[in-house]
Structure 1
């Protein structure tokens, strides 16, 4: 099959819900990808933060293959080793108490929402189920997580939405106080707003928010679907903010390319959801869990330190390119936003870079860079050279 045949097949049989770039990807190794014609691309996107340890990782492939030969799926009515071992690693390395496994980021955030509302119902009864989220946030595409998302652009077409959410201006405690009330049970936020433009939260604001939540017995829910699993240079971004959330969600990079998500709860919330209150048929799937164990083993402390250093290196190189079309950079670790300052839109710029062999993303008005966490320095330099040559 060639590129034209693939595009025709897609257009005939697949719902056209994605604005795809006119590029196909066939295979890859490390952070380098190839299309059907053999053209090479350096990947600064990792499948929107999913392919955390790159492509063709032998340990990851072997773990999946071995587990598939033993047990591909068994319902959560039975015990199996892979999910239990994964839960132990996640809890030990995060300081959290217990894990729930699902399949996606939206499902993980829905689980946290249910956790918060049940915690409040058990303690205070009905009428205390409102969750405050932040303007410019993104929490998923189910109706509930879409309602939680603080961007009107995502809300169109899908009315009516469910009740129980209010929005505060990010970084503004007075705005949060204005929307607070006796009916609030939790605050949910991203520590770096990814889809909103790669915007890190101010540490003082996060600290003050954590204090307020503790004072009012609101649960502090941290959405780490994009920032989690090593993306920012620590296993979870909250570990850089000096807080312990009541629950934290994860997905994207956890299984290195297989669909998996979930959330972790702290000690006081670990038993809120009992038997029959929440479930996921494929949650903790043995193959996905085996893949995730390889991801966590790969992301040891040395590798996480390298993630932070690689992020600093990329940002410094971009800022010193002297390109009139690019401005300041921001982010944490290998979650990087680059301001687009020229007349060309970030989407048009991304399309040009992709045509020239560098896969990038957009977010807000910025370019968004999410390379595999194991990307080599040689691949970084090759990708930055493509960026410079393309935008001169």
Structure 2
């Protein structure tokens, strides 16, 4: 059987449109495709491959656990899940953990828990959920309806009710829709898919205060920002605000599928046996890999290194922009960075992504106007420099003549 891009069109549902490149091997911050071409990876599997490709710690954990026990379902617990849960609770505000397979599932659990908590504590009228425009919380129908991008939720029939959207970084907008009927406000402390938009300190504190005023839970979706991505173990730790529920996934497994919902003992008590579940959630293989990943990332030296790498990226992108003038703003925290295009080049982010790939660089977009970078937290400084050189080569091919004419 010849395995190539054409086979995708023959056998896969066409909800994705991958490029011709098919990576077959990765090491550190570099990958190689079927033809042996090398790419520097500034995409990190969409903020997932936090330790790069084939880091020895999760590889060793997977190998060792694969010779012990793979799967038990939740009819019983297992040692890797218990160890990982203990480490997560020791390192965060949380006292209880629920394991799932993805960020979407972690968010689904958080939303169901918030509704059940409110129902038990206040009655059926307290069911409203508020999120923010341009937010993204996953693809299950409940989670995608809570997310603030209609392009992902329209066209699938009637949506779940009692869901409202406010404007991110606009406290008055939230104040206008929140009430004593609100059971939860869900937010990303730094919007990822919506364009790499950081929460203003006053805004995030105001959200917490409004939740307290109306007896609503504050849910932080840290699926993308968690596990060191922003230069802190979790982004809430740098915000001055503690949520009631936190969701985490992506980098938690360094590429192995796992998600988790973290909360307090009092709130968690509302998910009694049978109220929610997951066949694969807490899988021993996934938890063993996640434990090794978490142990590696939960290190002050590593986290300081993320913040240093952020400065290198910002300086490099500023230097490129000084020559080509294509970015309106470069923003983000840690190694979650977005470069927004100037109005003149609006809508060309994907074109830049494709040009970068042709130069041997993998990057991402966050909407039509923002180029996104989410590399390994351990990416060598030399790879940052070389990757930015390749990025500039792509920019020069697309915009060089425009820049020179200007």
Q: Do Structure 1 and Structure 2 share a fold, with TM-score over 0.5?
A: yes
Which of 364, 376, 395 aligns to 1:361? It is 364
- Residue of structure 1 equivalent to 2:341: 340
Equivalent residue for 2:395?
391
Distance (whole Å) between structure 2 residues aligned to residue 141 and residue 375 of structure 1: 30
The match for 1:147 is: 145
2:314 is equivalent to residue 315 of structure 1? yes
- Conserved 8 A contact 2:100-2:259: yes
CA distance in 1, matches of 2:264, 2:222: 15
Which residue is 1:30 aligned to?
A: 28
- Deviation larger for 331-340 or 56-65: 56-65
CA distance in 1, matches of 2:85, 2:218: 21
Deviation at 1:127, TM superposition (A): 1.3
Q: Secondary structure at the match of 2:377?
A: coil
- Tell me what 1:269 maps to: 267
Where structure 2 has 5 or more consecutive residues not aligned to the other structure, the ranges are: 397-406
The structural deviation recorded for 1:324 is: 2.2
Whether 1:224 and 2:222 are equivalent positions in the alignment is: yes
Partner residue in 2 for 1:376: 380
* TM-score normalised by L of structure 1: 0.97
Q: Is the 8 A contact 1:25 1:36 kept in 2?
A: yes
State the distance in 1 between where 2:90 and 2:40 align.
Answer: 34
Where does structure 1 differ by over 6 angstroms across 4 or more consecutive aligned residues? none
The residue that corresponds to 1:293 in the other structure is: 291
SS in structure 2 of the partner of residue 195 of structure 1:
coil
Contact 2:179–2:214 at 8 Å: present in 1 too? no
1:355 shift after superposition: 1.4
How far is 1:354 from its partner? 1.0
Question: Pairwise mapping of residues 143-182 of structure 1 onto structure 2 (< 5 A)?
Answer: 143-182=141-180
Secondary structure of the 2:14 match is coil
Q: Which residue of 2 aligns with 1:303?
A: 302
Q: What is the match of residue 60 of structure 2?
A: 62
Alignment of 1:198-217 (within 5 A): 198-217=196-215
RMSD: 1.3
Please give the alpha-carbon distance, in whole angstroms, between the structure 1 residues aligned to 2:165 and 2:383. Answer: 40
1:350 aligned to which of 343, 347, 353: 353
How far has the Cα of 1:42 moved from its partner? 0.4
Listed one character per residue, the Cα deviations across residues 142-190 of structure 1 (whole Å, up to 9, x for unaligned) are 1101110111222221121111200001111111121123321110000
Please report how far the alpha carbon of residue 312 of structure 1 lies from its aligned counterpart in structure 2 after TM superposition.
1.8
8 Å CA contact retained: 1:245, 1:266: no
Cα distance between partner residues in 2 of 1:186 and 1:95: 18
TM-score when normalising by structure 2: 0.94
Contact in 2 for aligned 1:260/1:283 (Cα 8 Å): yes
Q: Could you tell me which residue of structure 1 aligns to residue 235 of structure 2?
A: 237
Any stretches of 5+ residues in structure 1 without a counterpart? none
Deviations 1:304-360 (A, max 9, x none): 111111112101211122222233210010000001225370011111001111101
Given that 2:141 and 2:153 are in contact with CA atoms closer than 8 Å, whether structure 1 keeps it comes out as no
- 2:191 alignment counterpart: 193
Segment drifting more, 83-92 vs 336-345: 336-345
Q: Distance in 2 between matches of 1:230 and 1:207?
A: 22
Matched residue count: 390
Is the contact made by 2:182 and 2:214 (CA closer than 8 Å) also made in structure 1?
no
Distance 2:341 2:62 in 1: 40
SS at match of 2:218: strand
